[in-house]
Amino acid sequence: MCAARLYNQCSKNDKSMIDKEKLLASHHGKSSTGNEDNAAAERLIRQTGRYLRLLHITHEAIICVDERCKVLIFNQGAEHLFGYHQDEILGASAHRLLCPKFRHTDKHRLGVLARIARDNHIGFNTDRIICKRKNGERFPAEVSLSQTALPGRHLYTLVVRNATERVRAEEQLAHAARHDELTDLPNRTLLKDRLSAGIARAQRYQRKLGVVFLDLDDFKPINDHYGHETGDCLLQAVAKRLRDTMRQSDTVARVGGDEFIVSLEQIKTTDDAIAAARKLDSALRQPFSLLGKQISISASIGIAVYPDHGNDPATLLRHADQAMYSAKATHHNPQLFQQSG
C-alpha cells in the first residue's frame, strides 16, 4: 500500500500528526537532493499509519502524549472510557483526565514514570490513579506507560484500564478478612488492631481503656429449640443492639459463636467501664422479637481495664475472659477482673 493511500485513510487529527512527523523527518534527511528525505518521510508515514490503525481497532483506552504531557492521540477506547471526543482533548494536557483532588499527586507520579521510561527505555505500570470522565464521574484506573522513540523526540503511550471492579473486589476481600460474616462486626483480627491503636491513644492522653467480654447465657438451647435460622437472627439482633447501645468511638466485635467484645475508648476511670458494661447488660435483657417469637436472653460479662489489668491486647482480652467466667460462675454480673494472690 503506497504512503499516500495510507495517509488518506487516516483521520483528520491523525493526518495532522503524520504531517508533523513527515516535516520532522525531512529536517533530519541526509541527502541534499531530497530523495532520501522523501524516503524517510514515507517510511515514517507507513510506520505511523500502522501504529494509528492498531490504536483505533483495539478496545483498550490508549492515549499518546508528548514530553509535556500534551495529548497527541486519543483512540476510540479512550473516547468510550472518558466520554470525550478526540477533538475535545487533542492538544490538551493529559492531566485534564485526572481527578482534581488527586491531580497534583498523580501528575507527579506520571511525570516520574515518564522520566524513568525515557531514561531506561522501558515501560512501567501503576495503579490507583484516580481519573475523571467528562461528566465528572471518577474512577480508579491502572495505567501502563511506554516510550516510543521518534527522530528528535520521545512520545509516551498510556494504556488506561478501568480498575473499578478490581478495586471493589479487593475491598470486599479485605473487608471479609477483618469482619464477621454473619453480623458484619469486626472480627478478632480487626479488634486486636483497634485495641492496639486504642491503647496507644490512651497512653498518649493519659486515659483508660476498657475491654468488656460478653458471653450469651444458654444460647445453645435457644438455637436447638428454635432452629439455626432463629439463632442467626438472634446473633444479628444482639450485634445491632450492642452497636446501638455503645458510642461511635467504641468497637463492638464478635469473636466466637455467642461471644462478643466491646472496646471502650475515652474513659477516665474504671467506674466508667463498669457503667458501660451495666448499660450493655440492661440492653440485652430487653426481649427480642424475631420471626414472630419473643426471646429473652442474658449474658455473662467480664471487664478488664488498661493499664490496671494489662498493657497489651492479649493480656486485656485474657483477663476480661477470666472475669467473664467468674461472672458466669458466681452470677455476679458484670464482673471486674480481680488479680489473684
- Per-residue pLDDT of 60-81, as tens digits, reads 898 988 878 889 889 989 999 9
Half-sphere exposure of 201 (CA within 13 A, CB side): 15
Cross-strand bridge partners of residue 34: none
Please state whether the peptide bond connecting residue 307 to the residue before it is cis, i.e. omega within 30 degrees of 0: yes
pTM for the predicted model, two decimal places: 0.70
pLDDT of residue 106: 58
Domain ranges of the chain: 1-57, 58-178, 179-336
Instruction: Copy the grid coordinates of residue 306.
Output: 488498661
Strands (E), the chain: 61-65, 71-74, 124-132, 138-150, 153-162, 208-216, 251-254, 259-267, 288-290, 293-295, 299-306, 335-336
Reported as a single tens digit per residue, the pLDDT across 69-122 is: 889 889 989 999 999 998 999 999 888 888 776 666 655 655 655 565 556 555
Given the residues 14, 106, 215, 258, the one annotated as active site: 258
Q: Which CATH class is domain 58-178?
A: alpha beta
Contact 126, 109 (CB under 8 A): yes
The CATH fold of domain 179-336:
Alpha-Beta Plaits (3.30.70)
Q: Are 93 and 69 in contact (CB under 8 A)?
A: yes
DSSP symbol at 58: S
Q: What residues form DSSP beta bridges with 213?
A: 261, 302
Mean of all residue pLDDT scores within the chain: 82
Catalytic residue status for 180: no
Q: Which three cell numbers stand for residue 250?
A: 467504641
